[in-house]
Chains A and B, each alone.
Chain A
Amino acid sequence: QITLKESGPTLVRPTQTLTLTCTFSGFSLSTSGVGVGWIRQPPGKALEWLAVIYWDDDKYYSPSLKSRLTITKDTSKNQVVLIMTNMDPVDTATYYCAHRPSEYSGYGYWGQGTLVTVSS
């Protein structure tokens, strides 16, 4: 059974750095083809893809946020970490991590999401 869970601060001040951790079980991020992505959703708005990291440590980022994002993995801990710098109130959103079994597949398993509010 595949599960993912996001953790991190619920409140971040403007200009601060956000660090979110995705802890997963039921699969290995060292298995060929597997990826874990981050997707966010501002209140009442659409899904926005942020970043993905693959089993071979390949990483890809949203073009509009690339300069502010870093994604890393710790295979031994079954964790993926997303760092977003210079947070702004417009970054207030629910942040999801999700599992992708191969490059031809969608995100089949999602975490419950974590709401991050950016406010002074």
Chain B
Amino acid sequence: SYELTQALSVSVTLGQTARITCVGNNIGSKNVHWYQQKPGQAPVLVIYRDKNRPSGIPERFSGSNSGDTATLTISRAQAGDEADYYCQVWDSSTGRHVFGPGTKVTVL
């Protein structure tokens, strides 16, 4: 079955840029979605279909996807961006959805 790999944690200095990667076999051929989850809360979709932001999500959040790696970029990181971030794809060959293991982002 299709698997995704994410770094366990990423640290970023306040105001700087954080990059969170999601690695999967030829992930560039799939639509990647990203979720932000803060403690005690349900996940929130922050990027869909590789690079699109839902309404209400700041422009500081952006995404890209190519080859075997998809990337979520958080520009001008704020304290409120501290959260777990999960990537997710739909495996069209099986109809099943897959979540990555999640990356904890800490803003220093």
Interface residues, chain A, with chain B CB atoms under 8 Å away: 37, 39, 46-49, 52, 58, 60-63, 96, 103-108, 110-113
Contacts and interface: CB of A to CB of B under 8 A. Distances in A.
A29 B21 CA distance: 33
18 contacts: A37-B97, A39-B99, A46-B86, A46-B99, A46-B102, A47-B99, A47-B102, A49-B96, A49-B98, A49-B99, A60-B94, A62-B96, A96-B42, A104-B31, A105-B49, A106-B45, A106-B48, A108-B45
B99 A106 contact: no
Contacts of B37: 47
A58 B95 CA distance: 9
Interface SS of B by simple majority = strand
A10 B25 CA distance: 38
B48 A108 contact: yes
Contact of B35 (A37, A105, A106): A106
A110 B102 CA distance: 18
B42 A111 contact: yes
Interface size class of B (residues with CB under 8 A): 20 to 34
B86 A47 contact: yes
A113 B42 contact: yes
Given A48-B99, A106-B35, 18 more contacts: A39-B99, A46-B99, A46-B100, A46-B102, A47-B37, A47-B86, A49-B98, A52-B97, A58-B95, A63-B94, A96-B42, A106-B48, A106-B88, A107-B33, A107-B88, A108-B45, A108-B48, A110-B43
**A48, A96, A104, A107 interface centre (most CB from chain B within 10 Å):** A107
B1 A63 contact: yes
